[in-house]
Amino acid sequence: MSYVGSRVRPIDWEARTRGETRFAADLTSPQHLYAAVLRSPHPYAEIVALDVSRAERLPGVRAVITTADFPEGITYLHRGAPLSDRPPLAAGVVRHVGQEVAAVAADTPEEARAALRAIRVRYRVRPAPLTPRDALADGARRLHQRVTDEANVAFRLDATWGDVETGGRAGTTVVEGDYVYPSVSHVCMEPNTTLAAWDEASGTVELWTSTQAPWFIAKEVSHLLGIPHDAVICREVAVGGGFGSKSKASEHEVLAAALSRKAGLPVLLELSREEEFGSNKPRHRFETHLRTSADEHGTLRLFDADVLVDNGSYSHMGTSVMRVGMITLGSMYRPDGARFTSRLVDTATQPGGQFRGYGTPQVSLAVESQVDELALRLGLDPLEMRLRNLGPENETTLCGYDVTTSRLGDCLVAVREGLDWDARKTAVATGAAGGSSSRGLGVAAGMHGSGAYAYEFANRSDAAIDLFADGHVRVRHGSADAGTGQNTILAQIAADELGVDLADVEVLSMDSERTPFELGAWSSRGTHMTGSSVGQAARELGDQLRALAEDKLGGGPVTLRDGRAVAPTGEVDLGDLVGLSDAAEGDVLSHETSYVLEGTEMISTGKDRFNLSPTYAYAAHGALVDVDRRTGKVTVLDYVAAHDVGRAINPTAVEGQIAGGAAMGLGAALGEELVREGGRVVNPTYLHYAMPRSADLPSIRPVIVNAEDPAGPYGAKSVGEMSIVPPGAAVANAVRDAVGVRITELPITPDKVVTALAEQEGRRRHHGLWRRPGRWWVALLRALYPYGLHHVLHHWGTRLGRGVGPAGHRPPAPPEVLRPGNLDAVVAAVADGAQPIGGGTDALVERERQSRPAPVLVSTIGVPAMRRIRSEDGALLVGAAVSLAELEEALPPELAFVADAVRSIASPQIRNSATVGGNLAQEKRCWFFRNGFSCYKRNGVTSPCYAVTGDHRFQHAVIDGHRCQAVTPSDLGTVLQALDAEVVLQRGQTTRRLPLADLYDGPGELALADGEIVQHVVVPVPTSGRRGSFRKLALYQGDFATASATVTASVDDDGTWHDVRLVLGAMAPTPWRATATERALEGTTPTVAGVRRLLDRELDRHAHPLPGNGWKLDAVAGLVEHAVEDLLAQ
């Protein structure tokens, strides 16, 4: 059989699915120290003094390194001079929050982290620009001396391609606009990890490091350590995702190596998730101003762009990311001309890096949005418009690409058929979706290379094949399989070329000593470059074997199949040929070869058009979305991703790349964005970084448009990067189609949609603050924040106060964790000062940020009486230690809406551990507070509330916010108030009963006396006739509510409502009852519109939103509309 083209399992599936595959942090050998990195807390500061002597003296500390441990003035090579600008550890200046300042190796991770606190750094903080616009403003601090003549412009690229004059004249319909693709994180599941082992005798260092490109790691580490390239020896280890981020150094490898050299012992450096989000190099943010014109036939005539690319604080691959992005204007379509100016702008934020798609998704968002807008103006179907503008095959594009085959047209047709485009378009046009939800269809196309000639030798790949005397084969290549399936397709290729069983092929990758030269798995080069070199090596080895067999068997022709060489005169096992070769060494015959690509051009100065790649991949993606006009929530219902990949070497792996890339693109389209405040990332956790969970995504349907490209290998093109390019515009176009608003800045979160719809409908809210003196003080403070108050509180006020996280130079003592078996013991422990907890899932995380965490934690989960749910007098008595999962299972049908609320909380795993009491008592919701900002609530009254001027769109209060804008996160605390639930509290032997509404006296703050605990919750079970509904708007499945609404009412047979409860969550510091609306509804027969009118009036009267979260009022009113509809339908 032919393995190439077949759906074979990953060759290492057995080990990977048994959990036996070792990633760097799983290695137990060699034994090692643990490292931790001290990072800058400031976006820009001079380092006045750096003293590590106290840290060095601490017990357990084996090495501390600073810039003094590296040659003076040395920087990462990256793209080469003049843009090599980043030192391995800060040299006198820090230029972004998170920049590495020093690093420690110690016996335990706790000792290493504690030692960081013993390092004394005196910073002189300086203002510096945090956005490209600020960086280009007059008087902005220059972050570096650059060679361009504009301040803070690291690199500028201008070009004019084709016939701009003609295009300008002929393009009679013009659209123009600004588009923003945000900074998003790769979020590889494996954090960057390196185990380094220095060998003093040989002056070499071995690295087990999570990388896509061992060669580049060796290049940077050897340069920075001042040792030869081959003294850095990478070893094979599993890599948990790369997506481009690991195609160059991730700035921790050399720290591990330098620490190992200094300590004389192996060192493991494993970055935390917060470091991954907050310090590593995300996608470059692009601000694209684009003007596109077309003629009356729908033919594109001219692209004219002015682009700002946020470089961040240091230059990594920004120059080529920007270049590849701009190429979008001259690659896929065939306008008469394209013209652009693009600037790579330095800002004091985390630097951008390499990310799947490499600039193309950013510019594609603008191009593909405008193609749709032009289609709309010209009255053309957007899919048809693209079909009219396809670039031709076997021709050179405006940007200089020599295109071989292109099946983009077939991809578009596949989308049309797959989505039932024409029929659905008609249905959408006639409003078939109906109600508050609108549906829309969107399409976007894309193009990407298969490898890029970006460096010297990037047109070369070497590979080796070993044949062993027992007949098994080993492929050796110097690249790395970070999850793309590369090792499997290489094995497929070798098996085919040598006619052996796939099970008899193993693959060795990454190893610097045992694999030949290869630059690595980046720029979609895996399939073309390494696939070609392995194929060539196997073919050439096959030639040797055929010759040996012909000699032995006395004639030919010889074919290789089933592990044997077969001639008309006889056959022989391949392994038996090893001993017959003069080239064999022992029981192995090896062959190494070098594949050199012809016909591509290396990026060089003085030119602006290059044929970078041997072959180009294409794709068209189509999305069917549902837009909830009430809440702004966009849901992708169906998604077809059709790809021209040439021939798929392993269709299952190709479909995996398509679906995975599309999902990642959908994440950026709908939720993902690194949000910063003062240059510091405020959402460096999975909790706050809204990436898609399983339930957030539709069924993504990959379509492989089968083709064959002569450039090969085996007819194949690339696939891994292509799939992330179209989703942004496909979704934006579908949203435009659904509700008529064009969102030009990703992610398309509910705030943007609701705000645009309000504008479209001419809705505005008036809160009449002038006649609400109770709000004047808060309004004044908020008004003063941007005029210096924030600055003063941030720079000076935060120096006072409790602090954040543990203090002291020794590891904090772990808490004593008690789980007594009876209530009296719990109460006694709490009376002695222990912190009561349930499953501890919130408390254990939260204590990391506390300056004085409780030394004793006492859990209620060991108390049988607190783990029971009993029925009594028409109510459920729910013990505080009942888990959320147990609660959900125990709820009767009358409380189905409570079960809905429970199911929306966190994840099933958390619901299995987290308790009812713990949920009610969990810490406030605010990404500044939870992520360790020295804020008003965390640090004390002299500190600012970062939400006032920071990003408060989703999490913060719109009603009753005072100095703190946080809200109570508990969905249970909200939904149960609509049932008039009560809590029973216990202190000593005394119990008291409190309405749940009175439990909270602040955001996530309980009105408990010292030593008091929540014993159980009394949940009245509604009698027949009482109805309820819970609705929640969240950024992903399991997120805290951005807004929630619970409505309950007793409904008479004639439809009259009584005892209405309307409780809003995440709107105010504590769950908020719309009591005026409740009263007004008493005894009426409500309509959805009527409730909305009443509620809007009440919200307008009470709300005091921050500048960016007023939209939540519309969203929560929309949720109430949904809930009322539910009640009317029950």
Partner 1 sequence: MSALRRRTDAPATAAAATPLVTLVVNGRSVEAPASRPLARVLRDDLDLTATKVACGRGECGACTVLVDGRPTMSCVTAAGLVRGPVETLEALADEATDLREEFADAGAFQCGFCTPGQLVHATALARRADELVGGDDLPGAVRARMSGNICRCTGYQAITASVCAVLERRAAGATSGPSCGHADPEEAAS
Task: Quickly count: other Cβ atoms within 10 Å of residue 814's Cβ.
Answer: 8
Report in angstroms how near the CB of residue 1020 gets to partner 1 at its nearest: 28
- Give the DSSP letter string of 692-741: PPGGGS--EEEEE-----TTSSTTB---TTGGGSSHHHHHHHHHHHHHS-
Residue 262 or 903 having the CB closest to partner 1: 903
Q: Please give the structure tokens belonging to residue 117.
A: 């606190």
Annotate each residue in 944-983 with x if it binds partner 1 (CB under 8 A) or - if it does not, as one string.
----------------------------------------
Which residue in 1, 125, 147, 189 binds partner 1 (CB under 8 A)? 189
Q: How far apart are CA 971 and CA 992, in angstroms?
A: 23
Q: Does 349 bind partner 1 (CB under 8 A)?
A: no
Nearer to partner 1, 906 or 1068 (CB): 906
User: Cis omega before residue 614 (within 30°)?
Assistant: no
Query: According to the binding rule CB under 8 A, does residue 187 interact with partner 1?
Result: yes
Residue from 95, 219, 386, 701 touching partner 1 (CB under 8 A): that is 701
Query: What's the closest the beta carbon of residue 243 comes to partner 1, in angstroms?
Result: 7
CA atoms within 13 A on the CB side of 114: 18
**Alpha-carbon 550 to chain mean position:** 56
Give 294 or 719: the residue with its C-beta nearer to partner 1: 719
Alpha helix segments (H runs only) across 998-1087: 1075-1081
Element (H, E) at 928: helix 927-930
Stretch that binds partner 1, among 36-44, 235-243, 390-398, 996-1004 (CB under 8 A): 235-243
Using the contact rule CB under 8 A, the part of the chain among 12-20, 123-131, 791-799, 938-946 near partner 1 is 12-20
| Calpha distance 105→1036 (Å, rounded) | 38
Are 282 and 350 a contacting pair, CB within 8 Å?
yes
Phi, psi of 816 (to 5 degrees): -80, 130
| Residue 500 token pair | 């052996």
> CA 848, 849, 852: angle at the middle one, nearest 5?
85
Tell which one of 569, 699, 760, 991 touches partner 1 (CB under 8 A).
699
Q: Give residue 890's identity as a one-letter amino acid code.
A: A
Rounded to the nearest angstrom, the gap between the alpha carbon of residue 432 and the centroid of all alpha carbons in its chain is: 35
The active-site residue, picked from 236, 672, 721, 1125, is: 721
Of 190 and 1012, the one with the shorter C-beta distance to partner 1 is 190
- Using CB under 8 A as the binding rule, whether residue 190 contacts partner 1 is answered as yes
Contact 428, 587 (CB under 8 A): no
Q: Cβ of residue 906: shortest distance to partner 1, in angstroms?
A: 7
Is residue 841 a contact point for partner 1 (CB under 8 A)? Answer: yes
Q: Does 60 bind partner 1 (CB under 8 A)?
A: yes
String of DSSP letters for 450-504 = SS---STTTTEEEEEEEEETTS-EEEEESS--SSSSHHHHHHHHHHHHHT--GGG
Instruction: Give whichever of 443 and 597 is closer to partner 1, judged by the CB atom.
Output: 443
| Binding test (CB under 8 A) with partner 1, winner from 472, 609, 819, 963 | 819
Whether 550 sits among the annotated catalytic residues: the reply is no
Nearer to partner 1, 478 or 815 (CB): 815
Q: Which is nearer to partner 1, 269 or 578 (CB)?
A: 269
Residues 862-891 that bind partner 1 (CB under 8 A): 885
DSSP string, 106-119: ESSHHHHHHHHTT-
Neighbouring CB atoms inside 10 A of 699's CB total 10
Of the pair 79, 688, the CB lying nearest partner 1 is at 688
Q: Least CB distance from residue 899 to partner 1, whole Å?
A: 13
In the complex with partner 1, the residue whose CB is nearer, 14 or 165, is 14
**Is 1038 one of the binding residues for partner 1 (CB under 8 A)?**
yes
Pick from 156, 273, 963, 1058: which binds partner 1 (CB under 8 A)?
A: 273
Cα separation of the two ends of the chain: 60
Task: Report, in Å, the least distance between residue 681 CB and partner 1.
Answer: 15
User: In the window 910-939, what residues touch partner 1 (CB under 8 A)?
Assistant: 910, 912-913
Q: Which stretch binds partner 1 (CB under 8 A): 237-245, 494-502, 978-986, 1086-1094?
A: 237-245
Tell me 787's DSSP state.
Answer: G
Stretch that binds partner 1, among 30-38, 83-91, 167-175, 1096-1104 (CB under 8 A): 30-38
Sheet holding 570-573, edge to edge: 559-561, 564-567, 570-573
Whole-angstrom distance, CA of residue 417 vs CA of residue 620? 12
Residues 670-689 close enough to bind partner 1 by CB under 8 A:
685-687
User: What is the rounded distance in angstroms from the CA atom of residue 194 to the CA atom of residue 54?
Assistant: 26
- The yes or no reply on residue 22 touching partner 1 (CB under 8 A) is yes
At 543 the three-state DSSP class reads helix
Residue ranges in 614-673 that form contacts with partner 1 under rule CB under 8 A = 624, 626, 635, 637-638, 652-653, 655-656, 659-664
Q: How many residues bind partner 1 (CB under 8 A)?
A: 103
List b or e across 445-468, with b for residues whose CB sees 16 or more CB atoms inside 10 angstroms.
bbbbbbbbbbeeebbbbbbbbbbb
Q: Which is nearer to partner 1, 696 or 982 (CB)?
A: 696
Min. distance of Cβ 598 from partner 1 in angstroms?
A: 32
Compute the least distance from the CB of residue 416 to partner 1, in Å: 16
Residues 735-794 that bind partner 1 (CB under 8 A): none
Q: Which is nearer to partner 1, 637 or 784 (CB)?
A: 637
- The stretch near partner 1 (CB under 8 A) out of 157-165, 168-176, 495-503, 697-705 is 697-705
- Contact between 359 and 324 under an 8 Å Cβ cutoff? The reply is yes
**Nearest approach, Cβ of residue 666 and partner 1 (Å):** 8
CB of 965: closest distance to partner 1 in angstroms?
23
Among 700, 959, 1035, 1049, binds partner 1 (CB under 8 A): 700
Nearer to partner 1, 19 or 586 (CB): 19
According to DSSP, the β-strands at 193-199 and 267-270 are antiparallel
x-marked contacts with partner 1 along 104-143 as a string, rule CB under 8 A = ---xx-xx--------------------------------
Distance CA 159, CA 245 (A): 28
Q: Do residues 285 and 181 make contact, with C-beta atoms less than 8 angstroms apart?
A: yes
Cα(679)–Cα(688) distance, integer angstroms: 17
Instruction: Give yes or no for residue 10 binding partner 1 (CB under 8 A).
Output: yes
List of residues 6+ apart from 357 with CB closer than 8 A: 244, 283, 448, 661, 665, 721, 724, 725
Q: Which is nearer to partner 1, 889 or 1001 (CB)?
A: 889
Least distance (Å) between residue 555 CB and partner 1: 42
Could you say which of 6, 436, 942, 1037 contacts partner 1 (CB under 8 A)?
Answer: 1037
Binding mask 477-496 vs partner 1 (x if CB under 8 A, - otherwise)? -----xxxx-----------
Partners of 635 in beta bridges: 626
Tell me, letter by letter, the H, E, C secondary structure of 146-180.
Answer: CCCCCCCEEEEEEEEEECHHHHHHHCCEEEEEEEE
Tokens 């990953």, residue located:
10
436 touches partner 1 (CB under 8 A)? no
Please identify which residue in 3, 4, 5, 33 interacts with partner 1, judged by CB under 8 A: 33
CB of 420 vs partner 1, minimal distance in Å: 10
Stretch of 85-93, 283-291, 856-864, 1063-1071 contacting partner 1, by CB under 8 A? 856-864
Residue from 503, 817, 941, 1007 in contact with partner 1 (CB under 8 A): 817
Catalytic residue numbers? Answer: 721
